Amino acid sequence: MRFDDHFLEELKSRLRPSEVIGRTVKLRRQGREWAGLSPFSKEKTPSFYVNDDKGFYHDFSSGKHGDIISFLQETERLSFMEAVEKLALEAGMALPVQTPQAAQAEMKRQSLTDWMELAAKWFAARLYDKSPGAMAAREYLQKRGLTDADIAHFGLGYAPKERTGLKDALVQKGAKVSELVECGLLIQIEGSAPYDRFRDRLMFPIEDARSKVVSFGGRALNPDEKAKYLNGPETPLFHKGALLYGLPKALKIMGENRGGDLVVVEGYMDVLACQRAQIAAVAPLGTALTEEQIDVLWRRHPEPTLCFDGDGAGQRAANRALDRALPKLKPGKSFKVCLIAGGQDPDDLLREKGALALREALTVTQPFVEVLFKREQELEPLDTPERKAGFKKRLRALSAQIEDKDLSEAYRQDLLERFDRLFAPAQGAGFQPRNGFQNQNFQNRPFQKGKGGRFAEPPSYVTPEGGRAAKALSVALDPISAAVAQGLLDHPEWLSDHVEALETYGLGDPALEGLAKAVVGASFIHDPLDRQTLNRHLKNQGYDALLGGIQTAALRSASPFLAQDISLADAHNRWLTAFNALARLTALERALISAKTGAMQSFDAEIFARTKLERDVLRKALKSGQIFEEPTTE
């Protein structure tokens, strides 16, 4: 009997895995999971886990992973049909009516599945032939960093150039040509004999939820081939809009990691790269995400990550995914978005920087609503009342697309609040914070100059203890160094030509030495580096408290490049003046220390005096703000 995916998902949604499995395995609650001794191997310490939210079990001792259907197949030695029938009886679900036509269709489907499995084995064997095409395919995989173990794990293969190589091999095994056409392995053109669909291509088997091969994807090895990637057609086995490449193995990784993120990437090689780095990743099959695929994702994870290349094509793919997912959003069901910087994809990042860098890059995500707002914001310059009004109208229209009324209203409020903040008039007089400098600790608070050009007492934090700690930290920091650091945090692009200087001289304050190194490190991992990516990177490195202290200390510096009322170009120039001055000051300080310790033998008294004078003048100019004054001409 053929059970469609809707029936199986409904069956599994009615039964809690911990209850079904708990009749065989003694389970104990551990947070969101249930743990017990493995039913598949002898052990004294529990390594068997059941997750009701994800709908699966995972056994670390044996490596077995699955759902309640596969559990009954494993433990009670039932066939798939027997396991479904038993669970359906327990769930109170009527089985689909078994007609002679349905039985015949299921037999045919099973026959087609058998030929697909044989085709996968045949392609895998051809990859190790001595033909030039097979050698080119192996060289390609080696260049992409895949080992023989990886190739075997993912079932990769090679389709030879011969027009009927696969057809001849399977017919010899007893296959009917009509069956091979029906399951998409052969192409039938009226008036000519059927021939192999895939030729001279690297082959990727596509599996369904039961890990059965139902189709293939083929990558052309000939650069002149019109279609770089070719997927199998729609067949009785394969509906591309309902499947996700790599899903069975991704679910196993989630089981091994006891949860974790589920990442949606763009292509086959990106899936392989992520899964080799123990990241649960899947990909749509040559199209934008469909509604069916979105439902499949949400059944496995409440907030999957949509990962796209940082180039133009990746941005277009991200926009298509946003538009497709937006109407279907609902409370507790959404997406995060990761745009990898530098135009790289996960496969590039894994080969160039390793698994750790790839995993870190995929943790840098943005909420769905934030990406949606930025996309609309960047459609056109918002420099006239008409364009601003058009922007606001688009935001309202987007929120109205969400079918869930409560969430639609929440999105409308959030998007319009972001709009208001973007165009809010500056508060107070004089100094105003720029861009990211104004965070939740400083919003809606006027900034007023105090005595001597300094600023009023910094705002309190949420708790008295937090306020005292932040205040002590900010007082300890040099204000001008903190201001330069804040300018860099707000505008990481200013670092592009000064990475070496930052690495060599830091930010002029020993307390910021670790931060400077972390910023340099982030610039190598994320290229180009944007403000949000840098902020998340630094927080992941444990710099939360220091970031708050920098903001508070920067308030006391009166540095003009942090002001709101100057152009970005002017702010950059003034920041660069301060950065270069701090670098020069650090160089002078080091030279004086070396001279005092005798490390510089040629540093005579006259040079020492001139160096000390330059240091003192520069230090005074930085402290007084004179460094920013325009030279006057008489």
User: Does residue 128 sit in the same domain as residue 265?
Assistant: no
**Are residues 265 and 397 located together in one domain of the fold?**
yes
User: What's the pLDDT at 54?
Assistant: 82
Answer yes or no: is 577 within a domain. yes
- Amino acid identity of residue 189, one-letter, is I
Q: What is the pLDDT of residue 575?
A: 87
Which pLDDT tens digit goes with each residue over 241-294? Answer: 889 999 989 988 888 777 678 999 988 999 999 999 999 999 998 777 888 899
Separation of alpha carbons 24 and 68, rounded Å: 12
Q: Is residue 574 part of a domain?
A: yes
Q: Residue 235: its pLDDT value, please?
A: 92
Considering the domain architecture, whether residues 299 and 419 belong to the same structural domain is answered as yes
- The domain spanning residue 274 has which CATH number? 3.40.1360.10
CB atoms closer than 10 angstroms to residue 292: 16
Closest listed residue to residue 437, CA positions, set 515, 548, 327: 548
Domain identity same for 82 and 124: no
Q: Rounded to whole angstroms, what are the CA distances from 342 to 283, 361, 367?
A: 21, 12, 20
Structure tokens at 541: 């490195």
The pTM is what? 0.59
Same domain, 191 and 104: yes
User: Cβ neighbours of residue 589 under 8 Å, at least 6 residues apart?
Assistant: 615
Last residue of a domain, one of 210, 231, 252: 231
Report CA Rg, the chain. Answer: 31
Helices 385-400 and 405-422, axial angle in degrees (round to 10): 160
582 and 616 share one domain: yes
Domain containing residue 162: CATH number: 3.90.980.10
In a 13 Å sphere around the CA of 93, the CA atoms on its Cβ side amount to 19
Q: Indicate whether 254 and 154 sit together in one domain.
A: no
Last residue of a domain, one of 198, 231, 264: 231
Query: Could you give the CA distance from residue 497 to residue 509 in angstroms, rounded to a whole number?
Result: 21
Domain-embedded: residue 347: yes
Q: Which residues of 241-279 are buried (b: 16+ CB within 10 A; e: fewer)?
A: ebbbbbbbbbbbbbbbebbebbbbbbbbbbbbbbbbbeb
Same domain, 127 and 18: no
Rounded-to-integer distance, Cα 73 and Cα 592, Å: 77
- Is 450 domain-assigned? no
d(CA 592, CA 607): 10
3-class SS of residue 84: helix
- The answer to whether position 452 is within a domain reads no
Q: What is the DSSP letter of 330?
A: B
Is residue 288 domain-resident? yes
Distance CA 196, CA 165 (A): 7
Same-domain status, 116 and 87: no
Averaged pLDDT in 10-residue chunks for the chain of 634 residues: 75 90 90 88 87 87 88 85 87 76 68 93 96 95 93 96 95 93 93 93 92 93 87 91 92 80 92 94 87 88 87 78 92 90 82 88 91 92 92 94 94 94 62 42 37 36 41 67 90 80 84 85 71 82 82 82 81 87 86 68 68 86 78 40
Domain count, the chain: 4
Question: Where is 122: in which H helix or E strand?
Answer: helix 100-126
Domain presence at residue 118: yes
67 domain-assigned: yes
Contacts of 404 (CB under 8 A, 6+ apart): 329, 330, 331
Same domain, 106 and 87: no
Give the separation between CA 554 and CA 563, rounded to whole angstroms.
11
Domain co-membership, 185 together with 248: no
Which domain-ending residue is among 190, 211, 231? 231
CATH number, domain of 23, equals: 3.90.580.10
The answer on 104 and 76 residing in a single domain is no
Range of the domain at 485: 478-624
Which one, of 79, 76, 132, lies nearest residue 106 by Cα? 79
Strand partners, 449: 455
For residue 220, the surrounding DSSP H or E stretch is strand 213-220
Residue type, 157: G
